[in-house]
């Protein structure tokens, strides 16, 4: 199984997104690098709108991930309620 | 293979063909195991100059800064021209000895293999 | 009653697919004249998928938000004299390279995506390319803006655009994009979106920008990550175009493989300068080139190529050589600029004792054996007032245009220069590697046309035969922007600003 990876700018908004990712992807590993939060997981990684909204205490639009996204690997599947990256191998 | 182009017969201009250098030929010169000079160097040279003038003028300008340069015994240098072993005649011109445009001259100096065991 | 809110998939369909039309009375081939000559076969553009499903309205909304955040930080940076907070003024030289080499490449990318955004036959791909074209324009603008603050305090920033078209080492990025932009739309998008953006730009923007943050440069890390937030979308375009081309027709597979092989290598050669920026130009070290390569290429890129195996795509053969060069690349590149530093538009220096120890630790198999003695010897000479600069001009590779400093790493002989050559129509051509030679031999009609700065100087096209004349032609202010950092006006100014004796 290949690892997928996502990088977010280290800021206030991302902190909630990362908390939601950790909750929904228990095997994910979070690396704090200068100005960057890099998260890796085996196979796939999913960000759920509901979990992020819960963390933020306000409604979070999945597409607003673009504002804080730095990098990612894997095939993307995005819908109204989730953002998922995955390798098929 | 050939380039795929919109129009048949496309060919870019040869930017560095011999006639563009005002009678000079470009000669590349590298000194093996002396990476103090990061890469071989390029020189525009008169093809009618004798090889001896390369040793006397061109090489000191390009490579004289190396501490081992002064120790070179020119009779012992192993030369290659365009990757073939080459024995120069100091009196004869470059053209007479097979130097052509964009040729590569390499020199090996046995016993002088750069400094500090690091091919500097 | 409130109208039903469209979900993202419906919105994407309406605002993308439905913008296209059928050609009922005009010839479609005349509308898209570049679509077939490269040999790529498209049977059904409607199979194109954009996983982000970003529509123009959402695009403007999020881009505007990014810009607002970015410019707020620029203002704060300028108001607080942010340049004083960088770790050391040596760092600023990495920014000079960024502005002269990379920012104009953003503009070239803007231009290339405007072309593909017009010429690709499918509406989804066209819109994605158009968005990217606008992104690239944003990138060069924000970069110039960020650097304008440094331009007030340091040398070497003001003539970046003039230099990009002339200075010897800047022909490397310039010719890279010229090569891509003079290809057809499919090769361009595979070259830039896939090989460069997807596989390689992480190495430029992620660890280097983290390094900028680590060195106190808030303006640069901010434009870097703001640009990189667009890159995430560009990378996705790269992966989607590859999958799309491979799924459309089996005849596309060998063409795409050839382009991946070529552009991964071309892009990697271009990144030599980034390797050097990371290992030698960041006073506070964060991650070595080798570590970054392992993380972002060998690990992440490895997963990618395993994913593409099902289409018959293989990891490019050059990856093996690159893996062997990773122990040598940054050292050889920095040594080249150090020794030709009298003709560069930024300052160079020998690494300090602590920096050399860091390099030994990160490169245990190569630094102490091959490179430490070289830099120590150079430092000793500089100490004695005999700072070494190499006389004359280097031989260049016909394809990548980089001085021929690469060695036979593939053969485990890192102290032998790699010489390759070929004959074409009565003329001899020279290369730094097998891969650059292969690229030339595949399309010699194109690469004979290369504007090699060293040969152009010899032909009398660069202001004159003396270095001083050439420097004037470059608008490279001799004695101010070039040579060693020690004793430079940048160093004096920095010391005065920081109150260091």
In chain B, what are the domain boundaries? 21-108
Q: Rounded to a whole number, what is the distance in Å from the CA of C60 to chain B's nearest CA? A: 36
- Collect all residues of chain B within an 8 Å Cβ-Cβ radius of residue C360: none
A7 touches chain C (CB under 8 A): yes
DSSP letter string over chain B? -----SSTT-----TT-GGGGTT-EEEEEEETT-TTS-S-EEEEE-TTSBHHHIIIIIHHHHHTTSTTGGG--TTT-EEEETTEEE---SSSBTGGGT--TTEEEEEE-TT---STTTT-
C393 touches chain B (CB under 8 A): yes
Beta-carbon separation of B116 and C377 below 8 A:
yes
Q: What does the alpha-carbon distance between residue C419 and residue C434 come to, in Å, rounded to a whole number? A: 9
Considering only the C-alpha atoms of chain C, give the largest distance between any 2 of them, rounded to a whole number of Å: 84
CATH fold of B21-108 reads Ubiquitin-like (UB roll) (3.10.20)
Residues of chain B with pLDDT under 70: 1
ipTM over 0.85: yes
Q: What does the alpha-carbon distance between residue A14 and residue A27 come to, in Å, rounded to a whole number? A: 19
Name A42's bridge partners: A3
C339-C341-C344-C350 Cα dihedral, nearest 10 degrees? 110
In chain A, what are the domain boundaries? 3-86
pLDDT at C221: 87
The string of pLDDT tens digits covering residues A34-76 is 889 999 999 999 999 999 999 999 999 999 999 999 999 999 9
C371-C375-C377-C380 Cα dihedral, nearest 10 degrees? -160
Q: Could you say which of C54, C66, C304 has the minimum Cβ distance to residue A63? A: C54
pLDDT at B50: 98
SS3 A26: coil
Q: Rounded to a whole number, what is the distance in Å from the CA of B118 to chain C's nearest CA? A: 5
User: Do the bridges between strand B41-45 and strand C393-394 make them parallel or antiparallel, or are there none, so unpaired?
Assistant: antiparallel
Report residue B113 CA to chain centroid gap.
19
Beta-carbon separation of C309 and A89 below 8 A:
yes
With helix as H, strand as E and coil as C, how does B9-24 read? CCCCCCCCCHHHHCCC
Cβ(C406)–Cβ(C435) below 8 Å = no
Name the CATH code of domain A3-86 (choices 3.30.2290.10, 3.40.50.1970, 3.90.56.10, 3.40.630.10): 3.90.56.10
Instruction: Give per-10-residue mean pLDDT for chain C (501 aa).
Output: 74 82 92 95 90 86 92 91 93 95 96 96 92 95 94 94 97 98 96 90 84 89 85 88 96 98 97 96 93 92 92 96 98 98 97 98 98 98 97 97 98 97 98 98 97 98 93 94 95 92 72
In chain C, what are the domain boundaries? 50-156+164-498
Beta-carbon separation of A78 and C235 below 8 A:
no
SS3 A85: strand
CB-count exposure of residue C462 (10 Å: 0-12, 13-18, 19+) = buried
Query: Using CB atoms and an 8 Å cut-off, which of residues 48-87 of chain C contact chain B?
Result: none
DSSP letter string over C389-450? ---SEE-B-TTT--BS--EEGGGTEEEEE--EEEEETTEEEEESSHHHHHHHHH-HHHHTT-
Quote the tokens at residue A11: 């800021």
Q: Is the pLDDT of residue A9 over 60?
A: yes
pLDDT at A30: 97
With helix as H, strand as E and coil as C, how does C76-130 read? HHHHCCHHHHCCCHHHHHHHHHHHHHHHHHHHHHHHHHHHHHHHCCCHHHHHHHH
C454 touches chain B (CB under 8 A): yes
pLDDT at C12: 84
Q: Is the pLDDT of residue A88 over 70?
A: yes
Cβ(C93)–Cβ(C485) below 8 Å = yes
Q: Rounded to a whole number, what is the distance in Å from the CA of C6 to chain A's nearest CA? A: 10
pLDDT at C448: 98
Q: Is the pLDDT of residue A1 over 80?
A: no
Interface test with C, best of B3, B16, B44 (most C CBs within 10 A): B16
Q: What's the full length of chain C, in residues? A: 501
Beta-carbon separation of C52 and A36 below 8 A:
no
pLDDT at C393: 97
- Collect all residues of chain A within an 8 Å Cβ-Cβ radius of residue C5: none
DSSP letter string over A40-52? EEESEEEEEHHHH
Q: What does the alpha-carbon distance between residue C196 and residue C264 come to, in Å, rounded to a whole number? A: 7
Cβ(C127)–Cβ(C56) below 8 Å = yes
Other CB atoms within 10 A of residue C148 CB: 15
Category of B119 on φ-ψ map: left (φ > 0), alpha (ψ -120 to 50) or beta: left
CB-count exposure of residue C139 (10 Å: 0-12, 13-18, 19+) = buried
Quote the tokens at residue A89: 């191998």
Cβ(C221)–Cβ(C205) below 8 Å = no
Name the CATH code of domain C50-156+164-498 (choices 1.20.1260.10, 3.30.750.24, 1.10.620.20, 1.10.3720.10): 1.10.620.20
Beta-carbon separation of C450 and B15 below 8 A:
yes
């Amino acid at each position: 199984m290949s690892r997928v990876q996502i990088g977010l700018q280290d800021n206030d908004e991302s902190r909630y997104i990362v908390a939601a990712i950790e909750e929904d992807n228990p095997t994910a590993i979070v690396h704090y690098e200068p100005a960057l939060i890099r998260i890796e997981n085996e196979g796939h990684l999913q960000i759920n709108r509901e979990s992020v909204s819960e963390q933020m205490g306000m409604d979070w639009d999945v597409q607003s991930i673009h504002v804080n996204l730095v990098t990612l690997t894997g095939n993307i599947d995005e819908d109204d309620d989730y953002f998922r990256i995955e390798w098929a191998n | 293979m050939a380039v795929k182009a919109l129009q048949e017969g496309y060919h870019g201009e040869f930017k560095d063909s011999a006639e563009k250098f005002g009678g000079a030929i470009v000669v590349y010169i590298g000194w093996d195991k002396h990476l103090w000079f990061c890469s071989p160097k390029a020189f525009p040279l008169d093809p009618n100059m004798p090889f001896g003038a390369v040793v006397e003028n061109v090489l000191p300008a390009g490579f004289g800064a190396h501490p081992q340069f002064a120790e070179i015994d020119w009779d012992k240098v192993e030369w290659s021209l365009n990757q073939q072993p080459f024995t120069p005649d100091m009196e004869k011109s470059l053209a007479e000895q097979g130097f052509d445009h964009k040729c590569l001259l390499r020199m090996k100096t046995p016993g002088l293999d750069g400094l500090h065991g690091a091919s500097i | 009653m409130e109208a039903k809110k469209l979900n993202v998939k419906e919105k994407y369909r309406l605002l993308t697919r439905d913008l296209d039309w059928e050609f009922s009375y005009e010839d479609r081939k005349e509308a898209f004249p570049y679509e077939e000559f490269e040999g790529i076969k498209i049977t059904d553009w409607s199979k194109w998928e954009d996983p982000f499903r970003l529509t123009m309205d959402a695009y403007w909304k999020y881009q505007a938000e990014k810009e607002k955040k970015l410019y707020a930080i620029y203002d704060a940076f300028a108001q607080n004299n942010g340049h004083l907070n960088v770790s050391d003024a040596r760092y600023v030289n990495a920014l000079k390279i960024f502005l002269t080499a990379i920012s104009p490449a953003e503009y070239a990318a803007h231009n290339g995506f405007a072309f593909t955004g017009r010429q690709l036959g499918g509406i989804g791909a066209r819109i994605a390319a158009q968005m990217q074209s606008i992104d690239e324009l944003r990138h060069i603008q924000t970069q110039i803006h960020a650097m304008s603050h440094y331009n007030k305090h340091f040398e070497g920033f003001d003539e970046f655009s003039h230099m990009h078209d002339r200075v010897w080492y800047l022909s490397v990025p310039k010719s890279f994009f010229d090569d891509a932009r003079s290809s057809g739309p499919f090769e361009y998008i595979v070259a830039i979106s896939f090989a460069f953006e997807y596989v390689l730009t992480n190495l430029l923007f992620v660890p280097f920008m983290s390094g900028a943050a680590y060195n106190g440069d808030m303006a640069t890390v901010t434009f870097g990550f703001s640009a990189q937030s667009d890159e995430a979308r560009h990378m996705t375009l790269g992966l989607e175009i590859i999958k799309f081309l491979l799924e459309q027709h089996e005849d596309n597979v060998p063409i795409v493989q050839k382009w991946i092989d070529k552009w991964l290598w071309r892009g990697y050669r271009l990144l030599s300068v980034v390797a050097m920026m990371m290992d030698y130009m960041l006073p506070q070290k964060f991650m070595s080139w080798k570590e970054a390569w392992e993380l972002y290429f060998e690990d992440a890129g490895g997963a990618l190529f395993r994913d593409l195996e099902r289409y018959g795509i293989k990891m490019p053969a050059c990856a093996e050589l690159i893996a062997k060069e990773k122990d040598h690349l940054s050292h050889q590149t920095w040594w080249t600029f150090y020794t030709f530093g009298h003709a560069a538009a930024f300052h160079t220096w020998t690494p300090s004792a602590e920096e050399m120890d860091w390099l030994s630790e990160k490169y245990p198999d190569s630094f102490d054996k091959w490179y430490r003695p070289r830099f120590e010897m150079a430092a000793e000479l500089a100490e004695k007032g005999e700072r070494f600069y190499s006389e004359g001009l280097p031989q260049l590779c016909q394809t990548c245009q980089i001085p021929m400093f690469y060695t036979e790493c593939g053969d485990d002989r890192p102290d032998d220069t790699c010489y390759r050559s070929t004959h074409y129509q009565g003329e001899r051509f020279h290369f730094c590697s097998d891969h650059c030679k292969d690229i030339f031999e595949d399309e010699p009609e194109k690469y004979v046309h290369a504007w090699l700065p060293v040969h152009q100087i010899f032909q009398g096209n660069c202001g004159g035969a003396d270095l001083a004349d050439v420097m004037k032609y470059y608008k490279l202010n001799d004695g101010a922007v070039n040579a060693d950092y020690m004793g430079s006006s940048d160093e004096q100014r920095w010391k005065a600003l920081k109150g260091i004796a």
